[in-house]
Structure 1
Amino acid sequence: MTIRRKWHTVAEVAEMLGYGLSKTKMLVATGQIRSIKDGHHRRILPEWVDQYISARVSEAA
């Protein structure tokens, strides 16, 4: 049985995107990547990562 995560940490998203942690934190802080606060941590839904990527692709087109 495989358990799939429902959301990601900022560090996980940084790794997925191939960005540094500082850059990813800045994208979260500026709202370019949506997130929610869960206790002391930020969490990012997979579809929010997809939305960020789609926006970047649209900007490049």
Structure 2
Amino acid sequence: MKRLAISLTFFLVLALVIGYLVSGPTFMDWSVTAGLFAVAVAGEGFRFWLRRSRAKKRQSTGI
């Protein structure tokens, strides 16, 4: 869980910086920032789902 929080914080800061650089100093381009962060959240969710599904396959069903 700690890795997820660190990863999402890193991608949030990165999305904010890219949104600022794309828009310039006049105002923040929130659509770019939100889009990039949404891609990061989706990627982390997919990574979590993939790890969980692999762990379920390793469980034995027999006694």
TM bucket, shorter chain: 0.3 to 0.5
Q: Which has the higher contact order (CA 8 A, sep 6+)?
A: 1
The answer to which structure has the higher helix fraction is: 2
**TM-score normalised over the length of structure 2:** 0.33
The structure with the largest alpha-carbon Rg is: 2
